[in-house]
């Protein structure tokens, strides 16, 4: 009989199979997760809205259906957490802001609908920086989420609590969202896997918007919802549930004519792979360069790829990215929010909202984006995959937005994100995969980028790397110290 600790270390794929075979019950699994949450949450603060009673109610309903031999979904009884920017119709979606502290959506986001239909059990909502406008892990209304690998470091954001939860075994997978790297950032800092699929591959609706709470909407031209998991197989499993078109999302793509669970099969021998260690302009921490460089060699020496160092050739679009974010922001509504709540909001967010944006800022951002897309399209005609570091630095301290200096160079507070947001500008599929650790045991990630719409190759390459450099058995030392 599996112990609670054994259950919490199982993948979603394994849990789903065990529940289907009645080797484990949904209630047993949920209780194991809730017990771990009770032990870890006082230290990690991954869940800003835990829902233990709600989870048990869902688990009992699924268990009853299984015992009655009714049809249940593929994820029946498997626990999942939901980022607190993704709408849930009967659980608050606060977005980490005083302005939304009482907000409960009238509808589920499409991905929540689909996970419910698949039989997953919702453990609660996971913590985020305010409205997701940050790659860090703190907000004005909840306790700061901490990195399981070092409690004095950030687990990254904006899917901050999601990364910490999966990394510490409080559920095998989680729903995150990514507008500039927000599933890949915490995956990198927390030592797990995450996939930002092609733009439109996973439908996004409704986002955080409601007539009762004006001012915020999703970054529809940049954002994607995606899986954060301990294994590549679990990411493919979640994609089999949440991907596919929906008429409510005008950008959603037609159904991919493949079995997501089979995309991870096969090898990548002979693929042409570009490695850009710094885009040709970005500051990168030496330890990141070293660890990622060694991971890249695995593709050449062990996976049979043809690897060469190359850069797409675009100039640094950092300022343009923030112009795109502003384009996707209801500045009028959010400025009204600042007028009402500004003293209790995150300072850099208030600064961003109240900046005197001009029309040329927006049109320039759009033109720069077109240039980046064109450069990348030409570049990817030569290569099947592109590899980069996921982030330019290792996990940093709490309550800052990013380091001021990387490899001896002064940088803006978000320039450590130079590798992730590019893929939101181009819409290409991109994953963050654990590549190794710093000298003091902090995770470092490798970003695997595919051609336009080629999600399957990103997943297959991820699975091939995982097979020769597995990480799912590596857990933060704090768990052993706590007997978990």
State yes or no: pLDDT of 209 exceeds 70: no
- Cα separation of 435 and 469, whole Å? 8
* pLDDT mean over 390-404: 98
- The pLDDT tens digits for 130-177 are 999 999 999 999 999 999 999 999 999 999 999 999 999 999 999 999
* pLDDT mean over 299-327: 98
The closest alpha carbon to 414, from 90, 139, 76, 157, belongs to 157
- Find the helix or strand (DSSP H, E) in which 454 lies: none
State yes or no: pLDDT of 288 exceeds 80: yes
State the pLDDT confidence band at 1, using cuts at 50, 70 and 90: confident
Question: Of 95, 105, 182, 240, which residue is the catalytic one?
Answer: 182
The closest alpha carbon to 50, from 149, 191, 165, 205, belongs to 165
pLDDT of the residue at 70: 95
State yes or no: pLDDT of 24 exceeds 80: yes
**Can 158 be counted among the known catalytic residues?**
yes
Query: Which DSSP state fits 191?
Result: T
Residue with tokens 């040329």: 360
Neighbours of 304 (CB within 10 A): 13
* pLDDT mean over 17-35: 98
pTM more than 0.85: yes
C-alpha distances out from residue 1 to 4, 13, 309, Å = 10, 18, 50
Tokens of 110: 């499409």
Question: Of 11, 81, 158, 462, which residue is the catalytic one?
Answer: 158
Find residue 193's DSSP bridge partners: 229
Identify the burial level of 212 via C-beta atoms within 10 angstroms of its C-beta, where 0-12 means exposed, 13-18 middle and 19 or more buried. exposed
Question: Of 11, 25, 81, 83, which residue is the catalytic one?
Answer: 83
Instruction: Mention the CATH class of domain 4-481.
Output: alpha beta
The bridge status of strand 121-126 relative to strand 47-50 is antiparallel
Residue 433's φ and ψ, nearest 5 degrees, are -125, 140
Residues in the chain: 484
3-state SS assignment for residue 9: coil
Compute the C-alpha angle 188/287/386, nearest 5°.
55
State yes or no: pLDDT of 211 exceeds 90: no
Q: Following CA atoms 74, 36, 394, 183 in sequence, which dihedral angle do they give, to the nearest 10 degrees?
A: 30
- The pLDDT tens digits for 121-140 are 999 999 999 999 999 999 99
Give the start-to-end residue ranges of the domains of the chain: 4-481
pLDDT of the residue at 214: 61
**Can 25 be counted among the known catalytic residues?**
no
**Can 182 be counted among the known catalytic residues?**
yes
C-alpha distances out from residue 236 to 90, 193, 454, 456, Å = 27, 11, 14, 9
State the pLDDT confidence band at 207, using cuts at 50, 70 and 90: confident
Percent of the chain with pLDDT over 70: 98
Contact 148, 155 (CB under 8 A): yes
Compute the C-alpha angle 293/295/297, nearest 5°.
75
């Amino acid at each position: 009989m599996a112990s609670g600790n054994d259950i919490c270390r199982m993948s979603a794929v394994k849990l789903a199979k065990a529940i289907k075979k009645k080797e484990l019950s949904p209630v047993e699994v949920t209780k194991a997760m809730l017990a771990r949450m009770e032990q870890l949450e006082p230290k990690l603060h991954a869940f800003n809205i835990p829902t233990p009673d709600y989870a048990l109610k869902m688990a009992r309903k699924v268990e009853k259906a299984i015992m009655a031999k009714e049809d249940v979904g593929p994820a029946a009884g498997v626990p999942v957490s939901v980022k607190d920017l993704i709408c849930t119709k009967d659980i608050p979606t606060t977005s980490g802001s005083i302005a939304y502290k009482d907000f409960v959506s009238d509808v589920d986001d499409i991905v929540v609908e689909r996970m419910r239909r698949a039989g997953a059990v919702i453990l609660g909502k996971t913590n985020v920086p305010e409205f997701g406008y940050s790659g860090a892990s703190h907000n004005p209304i909840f306790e700061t989420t901490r990195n399981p690998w070092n409690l004095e470091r950030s687990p990254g954001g904006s899917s901050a609590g999601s990364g910490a939860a999966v990394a510490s075994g409080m559920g095998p997978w989680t729903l995150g969202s990514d507008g500039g790297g927000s599933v890949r950032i915490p995956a990198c800092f927390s030592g797990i896997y995450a996939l930002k699929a092609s733009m439109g591959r996973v439908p996004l609706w409704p986002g955080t918007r409601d007539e009762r709470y004006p001012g915020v909407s999703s970054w529809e031209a940049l954002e994607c919802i995606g899986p954060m998991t301990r294994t590549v197989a679990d990411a493919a499993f979640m994609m089999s549930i949440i991907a596919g078109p929906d008429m409510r999302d005008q950008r959603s793509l037609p159904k991919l004519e493949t079995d997501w669970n089979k995309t991870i099969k096969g090898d990548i021998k002979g693929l042409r792979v570009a490695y850009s260690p710094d885009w040709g302009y970005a500051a990168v921490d030496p330890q990141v360069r070293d660890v990622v460089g060694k991971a890249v060699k695995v593709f050449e020496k062990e996976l049979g790829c043809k690897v060469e160092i190359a850069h797409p050739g675009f100039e640094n679009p950092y300022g343009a990215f923030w112009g795109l974010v502003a384009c996707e922001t209801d500045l009028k509504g959010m400025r009204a929010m600042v007028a009402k709540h500004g003293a209790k909001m995150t300072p850099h967010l208030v600064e961003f909202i109240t900046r005197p944006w001009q029309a040329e800022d927006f049109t320039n951002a759009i033109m720069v984006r077109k240039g980046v897309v064109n450069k990348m399209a030409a570049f990817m005609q030569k290569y099947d995959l592109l590899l980069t570091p996921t982030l330019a630095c290792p996990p940093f301290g709490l309550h800052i937005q990013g380091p001021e200096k990387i490899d001896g160079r002064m940088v803006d507070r978000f320039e450590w994100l130079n590798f992730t947001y590019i893929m939101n500008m181009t819409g290409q599929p991109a994953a963050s995969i654990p590549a190794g650790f710093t000298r003091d045991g902090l995770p470092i990630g490798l970003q695997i980028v595919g051609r336009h719409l080629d999600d399957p190759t990103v997943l297959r390459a991820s699975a091939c790397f995982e097979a020769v450099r597995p990480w799912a058995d590596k857990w933060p030392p704090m768990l052993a110290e706590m007997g978990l």
